[in-house]
Structure 1
């Protein structure tokens, strides 16, 4: 279980910087490990009946257990496939993840991925509901980091759908990342804010570079290579 969660975490680091091909290998390894770990009930990661949230596989309320590891891996694979243009595959994986684990953490992450799938599919209006639901769940749970990321996702969805409230959500998210030193979200929030607030765009972009540079300086060589090649990462931050 720990090995699976570790692989999913490494995949997330690579995916955030645009390294989806590298992330997909790690997410696949995470699913393979979780599927064949002790206590999986023999269902495996790729076939058989889904374990749901019952039994010894789902022992932690926050999803830091074998079932949660499976859901993390499936959602990671969904995000990887989405970025690589495989929208149908991403949908199937996201649906499977939602069936595997219905606890709050997986539900929030399912909301993020569902919103991203709709945005990628050109269905901006359909992205709003899962993003909003993710934010509601995260806030109700008091999960600060999940709430901040949910606000960013919802802000993007609202903006794409032409609905009000996007800028306020994202600016508040920027403030929260600064207050609580959520650096891995701060550079993303400021980049989104730059897109939404033309009057302060340069200020937000500069702050994004300020935050990301020291983060990358502490990254492993693989992440540095991905960052240098990524169209998402400001060149000055590498």
Structure 2
């Protein structure tokens, strides 16, 4: 079972049906299932599993459960709620232990917690703090390198330096692609494509739009709802020929994601400046900028 779950969480099958794994005896299997469900936008179901795993006697699983739950909250624009969970993840992360190829180990837990805290600081517009946290990240796993590339690019975009966002986004995309980690590859394409269109050079703009449009179609085919609405909004802003259709896709995906969240998260998300809740009210413009809102795992 674990091999199949790893393929879904970190490999070529992110759309896999993993619901039965939520009742597995292995805590690691349940955590992997929660990662997959979060990637598909089933936040309430993932939260139930992760909240129980916070108390697991294995400190790696406990730490990763805190940081994964925080990541899902950030996807809903709830950075202030994510921060204490990332802090708890860092506190629980052990200093040493056996290594794991996908970073399900002590170093991976610490990396996820620090990157989560950096993303939380970015969401609060504390860019200096985000950079200091990012500088503390030391990782050997491919997953940690990919996520570090995302957060690095996001910090540069938030600092109005899109030209400096492209290189870390390129590295993240190359690493995820080489690992055949489809969800991470698609997220990396979104980060890279957005970096290129915000930079705005003629060649970069064309490549960026192409990357995001391809990523959007692939994310939709894999039912990765959390990647669909920010991708669609980037296209709506930079590819007028697909604007109306993109807005419709963004609205459908965001509505679906919010329906799958727990009631408290859903309500707070609707009030978050990071979530374009205007999409859900006919005639109102989005209240968030999709170019800096893809702080996901």
- TM-score, scaled relative to structure 2: 0.70
1:211 aligns with 2:270: no
Equivalence for 2:33: none
Residues 25-84 of structure 1 deviation map (CA, whole Å, 9 limit, x = unaligned):
1111111111xx4xx25xxxxxxxxxxxxxxx2521010112101100100000110121
1:222 aligns with 2:260: no
Residues 169-224 of structure 1 deviation map (CA, whole Å, 9 limit, x = unaligned):
00000011012111121222112221221232221111111122222212112321
Equivalence for 2:73: 14
Report matched runs for 1:64-83 at 5 Å: 64-83=104-123
Equivalence for 2:185: 147
Q: For 2:166, what is the secondary structure of its paired residue?
A: helix
- 1:145 deviates by 0.4
Change (3 A) 1:203 1:197: same
More contact order relative to length (CA 8 Å, sep ≥ 6): 2
1:199 aligns with 2:210: no
Q: For 1:178, what is the secondary structure of its paired residue?
A: helix
Counterpart pick for 2:134 among 94, 98, 109 = 94
Equivalence for 1:120: 158
Q: Which runs of 5+ in 2 are unaligned?
A: 1-59, 282-297
How many pairs align?
A: 217
Residues 216 and 231 in structure 2, CA contact (< 8 A), matched pair in contact too:
yes
- TM-score, scaled relative to structure 1: 0.86
Q: For 1:135, what is the secondary structure of its paired residue?
A: helix
1:157 aligns with 2:195: yes
Q: Could you list the runs of 4 or more consecutive aligned residues of structure 1 that deviate by over 3 angstroms after TM superposition?
A: 235-238
CA distance in 1, matches of 2:66, 2:145: 20
CA distance in 2, matches of 1:158, 1:83: 21
Counterpart pick for 2:208 among 166, 171, 174 = 166
Q: For 1:155, what is the secondary structure of its paired residue?
A: helix
Alignment RMSD, CA only?
1.5
CA distance in 2, matches of 1:236, 1:166: 23
1:176 aligns with 2:218: yes
Change (3 A) 1:139 1:226: same
Report matched runs for 1:47-62 at 5 Å: 57-62=97-102
